[in-house]
Structure formats: C-alpha cells, structure tokens
Amino acid sequence: MKRMIFLLLMTSAVQAQTLVSGRVTDTQGEPLPGANVVVKGLYDGSSTDLNGEFQFSTGEQGTHSLTISLVGYQTLERVVELTGAPLNLFIELREAINELEAVVISAGAFTASDENRRTMFKALDIATTAGATADIAGALNTLPGTQKVGENGRLFVRGGDGNEARTFIDGLVVLDAYGPAAPNTPSRGRFLPFMFKGTSFSTGGYSAEYGQALSSVLALDSKDEDIHTRTDIGLLSVGADVAHTQAWKDGSWAGKLQYTNLRPYMGLINQEIDWITPPASLELSSAFRQKVGDRGLVKFYGNANRNHFSLYQAIVGDDASRQSLDLTNTYRYGNASYRQAFDRDLFWRTGVSFNYNENRNELSRSTFRERETGVHIKSAVEKSFSDRVELKGGVELIYRDYRAVWKDESAGSITQSFVEPLWAFFAEADVYANKKFVTRAGIRAEYDAHHQRTGIDPRVSMAYKIGEGQASLAYGRFRQSANNVWLRSHPQLTTEKAEHFILNYQMIKNNRTFRSEVYYKNYFDLVTFQFPVGQLPMGFAPFTQPVFNTGHGFAKGFELFWRDNQTFSKTDYWISYSYLDTKRRYLNYPEAAAPGFASRHNFSVVYKYFITSLKSQLGLTYSFASGRPYHNPNETGFQTSRTPSYQDLSANISYLPTSQIILHFSCTNLLGRDNIFGYQYADTPGADGQYASRPVRQAAPRFLFLGVFITLSKVKGVNQLPSL
C-alpha cells in the first residue's frame, strides 16, 4: 500500500545515513512484491519490487521499529538498531488465512477496519480527499451510489433523500449527524474521520442490527486507544483549535476545543448569501478509553457545540422585500459502550447514547424553536459455534422526545410534539458452507409503542467466490419514521418502508479493487399530502393540511468502482460511476416523477500523489453529475425541466517542513464553475403571467482553506496529517 508512505516524515539530510535493505517473503519463501517497509512514525521507507527486495536510506539513529505490511498478510513490526552501518534484513510475513481465503459479504457495503482486512475506504482516505475538506459525507460522495447535492451536503443514496441515511457510532444511533446550515448551503458532519478506526458505508442490504434507516447506514467504529501523549494546535483561516491526548498503560483520554468563525473569511470573499452575521461555532469534544482486565474495554465519547448565524432572505420576484433569519443551534451528544470477550468465541457488548439538539429560529415576525432529545440503549451478543457458524443477536430501545413551538405576532402560539419509543430485537447468523460460499440470514422486529404496531423485516445476503473475485446477492426490508417536519404536526403517521435487491461482483488483487453492482429499490408507505404543485411548505409555520402514508416509488441502477494504488509509483486513485433511474409519488407530487435531488449520472475521479522528496502530498478530485429535474410552473408538465450539469475540480496539498509541523491548503471548484442546483419560483405569477424565478447557486464560487498544524510530543514523527 504505497499510499501510506506519505504519512511518514523524512529526517534531516545532515545526519548520518543508514542504508536499510533486505527481502520480504511469505512462509514458503516466495517473494512478496508491493510490501511496505517503513520506519515506524517517520517518512523513511520503501516498497518491495517483483523479487520482494527493498532498499532505502534513513538519517535516524538509535533503536527504532520497522513496520512491514501487505494486504492479506499480518502486519509485522521488527526492532532494529540504526547506527550508520548498512543493515540487511530477511523478513517473513504470514498470511491472514481466515480473512484472505474465506468469502465475505460485500453487497451494498464499502467497509474498512483494521490493517489485516481488505480495506477500501479508511479514515485517512476521507481526510485526504480533495474537495471533501475532511468531511465524512463529502468524501463518501465520491463513491458510487451517492448523489452530488451541493446545496445540502448530506448523503443522498440510490434515490433516497438526505434523511434516509443514518449514522451510528459504535453501534449506537446519532439522531442528527450534521451541523446546521443556512438555506441552500451545505451542512457538514459533526464528527471528524480521524476519531474512527473503521468505517462501513452500506448503500443497501445492511445488517439486521441497524434500523430506522430507509436507504443507507454509515457505521463508524471509534478508536480503542491512543498510544501517544501529545498536544495538537491548529491555526486555521477560519478559526483555531487545541487538543490534548494523555495516554497511559491500557487507556487514554483525549479532549479538543475548536473555535470556527467564518465572518472574517466571508468579509473578504463575495457571497451569494446576504449575511447579517456569518456562521460561528464553539465545539468541545472528549474521548476516554480504558481496558478492563484482559478482555474488557470501556469507551466514552462526548461532543458539545453551539452554532450561530443570521441572514436576510429576499422574496422571489420582489428583491426589495426581504426577511431576516437568525438561527442558534445547541447540540449535545454522549456515547458510552462496553465490550467484553469471555473467550475467543463469545463476545458481549452494550452501550447507551444520548442525543440533544435544539434550534432557535428568530424570523422577522415570528419565532420557531424545536428540541429533540433521544436515548438509544443496546445490548448484543456474538457467538462463534464453529468456524462455519456465527450468530449475533440483541435488543435495543430508541426513545425520542420532540417538541416545537411556533409564535407569531398576529397568530399567537402553537405547540406541536410527539414521543416515540421504539423497541427492537435482531438476530443474524453467518453460515459458511465452505470457504467459497457464505449465507447471512437475519431478522429485525420493531415495536412502535406510540402506534402500538409491530414490524418484521427479514434480511438475507449470500456470497460466492468466483476465481479471484466474488459475487454477492442481498435482499432486505427496511423502515424509518417519517421526517420530524411532518411527524410533529401529524403524529399518526406510520413508518415509511423500502425493499432492497442487490447483485454485486467484487475483486481485490495486488492493491487494486474492482467492484460492480446492480440494484432495485421498492418504496412504499411514503408521506403524501395536498399542496400547490412545485411548492413545499415554506418557513417554520405549522403545516395543517391532511398527511397520509400513501406514497410509493422505485429506484434502480448500476454502479462501477475502480481503485488502484499499485500501477503508478506513489499514486493512489479511484474512479466511480453511478447510473440512477428513480421515480416517486410522495410529498405533494401530483404524479410519480424523479425527485429534484436525483441526477441520472454521477462520476468521480480522485487522485493522490505522494511527493516524498518534498515531503508533500497532492490531491485532486473531479466530480460530475448530470442535470437534476425540477418543476417550472411556466412550462407544462411536472418535473420536466433540468438544471445544467454539476462539475467540480478541487485540489489540496499538505507540506511537512518539519516532522511535527504541517502546512495544509485546499481549494474547492478550482475552475470557478457556476453550478446551479435548482430554481426557486414566486408563489404567484406576475403581470405578464409568468412566475419569477431565482437560481439556487453555491454560496461562493470557491472555498479556500489554509491551516498550520503543530504537534507537541516526545515521540518523533507523530503529527496531524491523518486528521486533516
């Protein structure tokens, strides 16, 4: 995995150089080309050639560890003495036999975890993807199955809207994983990728363990421990942050304070938005991990932040009239989990998460305040009965309490609320007929105590090895409560539902990944209501029209993914393409039609080049999405017009002048393309009989970011590059 070399730092050329060479083989003595051999925590290292041989020089002195890694083999660390004298080594790697030979379920899922597994998308990939600005959703939007919805910023997956993708941390739900954003501006995820050791992004067919997600699950697995005591300081063009990690034997604590203020930046860069006060936020996060005995682990994570902004919104067709919007968001999230291994074949895990999200909206003549509190409690057991049968089962409670208060100078005050307790049981079994064929069968039962209804959702996946690749087939039924926007005024609404059918082929060989997938989704019980065609309820006023669960729809398509970090020296790149055909009869749609967020074609190329001689990494991302449908009241038909295509070329570069200082610069939309995401129309026609319109554009043609990141640690080579 050559892309890892850029994480290590080169030492000063004035030091004495030690020539390190050798050969890496498997246990049978066969050479292993493409293996990484690096000095742990530094830039120095090399990859083996076709004969398994390597050679590099380092100016380091004293006792150090070499890390030798290769996909499909157990990572090895060897302690060496660097004295200036040539050092020749013979290194033998052992196969990760169970993980390499056994077929795995891959339909609908992009999964990355520890080094020994077949990784495709890790935290470092997310952090260093140009254009993503270290946002998890931004990076995942370069994968097939996702839609480029630049005015929203959330994950839109396979014809599903941004509310149909649910985030979990250590198996526990996050009710609102995105920060607040101004109208028609993208929101960012609340959690940074470097917090997590593993990422599973499932675009369909996910485990029975996960519920309340109609289209997609983003499951994040937090780190078990930090091994280095360190202090990190970030000086940013949009703020500053300071973090400290304290490590001890079998445990660690980390805390971070971050202040973000876009006001100076937006004062220099012209914006499409008429800001009164641009966004500013203060965030505090903390994590604690401690091993308990030989086989137990307890983890705590907390996040608290406060965001504020205010702006003027012009009325379409009457630019002289405008109304103000002032939003303050207060967010709290807490997560505690415990994991215990009783023996090699029996594991128990349990946890609880607490969610609190409050929005205070002050409008020109009214106020709107909403608050959602949620608790998720889960307990699960995993048992391996043999090398052929594994069983997982558990119970959980997801409890939500929502309240909204709307006050108007003339209409008075209206309060809307609901309480939703959901009990669930899930069970799932993996059965290996042999190393080439595995079946995963599961069932999830949910009891909605508010409506006193029970839902049963079966899910099954199968995978079969074909040569050096494998084919997977998956089916599942999924459900999710209606959006709070509709549920708060109509608490009688029941869950929306979908069925997923997926066929997948995947091959991973020599640090190259090829993946293709076709799917079909069937939606039913979607929310519908009567409202003027092409419009949706605006603002925060209560919605009193009748609402029903009578909608339906479908989404079908195919996807291609190619990743290669082997062919070109010091280069990692991936290419993804998605085709989507979808229609829905939902909300106020008078007929089944493609929703306004759905583009038929999505294409991305991500390129990363590691310049070891300059201690730098360059990243480029090109994204394309075909035009999205929208309703033009000045033309006949519904959803028959299309926006121009979306195109974006973004870049970033990281430079390491010393081992613990990083300069990072990024720029989105380098070419300054005027991307248009849709059009807003006046509610009534003008004197000429035409409805006035206004395009929905990016807040600014580009977003520029510059940061200086400093790490203070006794361990040389530790820095913040993985978290940029």
Over residues 224-241, mean pLDDT: 84
pLDDT tens per residue across span 408-444? 877 788 899 999 999 999 999 998 888 788 899 999 9
- DSSP assignment letter at 723: G
Residue 509: how many other CB atoms lie within 10 Å: 12
- Quick check: 358 pLDDT over 90? yes
| Residue percentage of the chain with pLDDT more than 90 | 43
Report all structural domains of the chain as residue ranges with CATH numbers, in order of start: 2-95 (2.60.40.1120), 123-723 (2.40.170.20)
- pLDDT value at position 622? 96
The residues, ordered by sequence, that sit 6+ positions from 696 with a Cβ below 8 Å of its Cβ are 151, 184, 676, 677, 678, 679, 680
Instruction: Tell which residue, 138, 131, 247, has the closest CA to residue 191.
Output: 138
Answer whether 52's CB lies under 8 Å from 31's CB. Answer: yes
E strand intervals along 385-411: 389-408
- pTM for this predicted structure: 0.82
Q: Which residue has the tokens 């070891």?
A: 612
Over residues 5-24, mean pLDDT: 61
Over residues 43-49, mean pLDDT: 83
Instruction: Tell which residue, 707, 721, 698, 720, has the closest CA to residue 269.
Output: 698
**CA-CA-CA-CA torsion for 495, 498, 499, 503, nearest 10 degrees?**
-140
The tokens of 405 are what?
């208060």
- DSSP assignment letter at 278: E
- pLDDT value at position 111? 57
Over residues 263-289, mean pLDDT: 88
pLDDT tens per residue across span 240-256? 989 888 988 889 998 88
pLDDT-wise least confident of 333-337, 428-432, 627-631, 711-715: 711-715
- Quick check: 113 pLDDT over 80? no
Residue 698 or 333, more confident? 333
pLDDT-wise least confident of 112-121, 183-192, 649-658: 112-121
Q: How far is CA 372 from the centre of its chain?
A: 23
At 524, which helix (H) or strand (E)?
A: strand 512-529
Instruction: Tell which residue, 27, 78, 30, has the closest CA to residue 50.
Output: 30
pLDDT tens per residue across span 135-167? 788 888 888 999 888 888 899 999 999 899 999
- pLDDT value at position 265? 85
- pLDDT value at position 14? 43
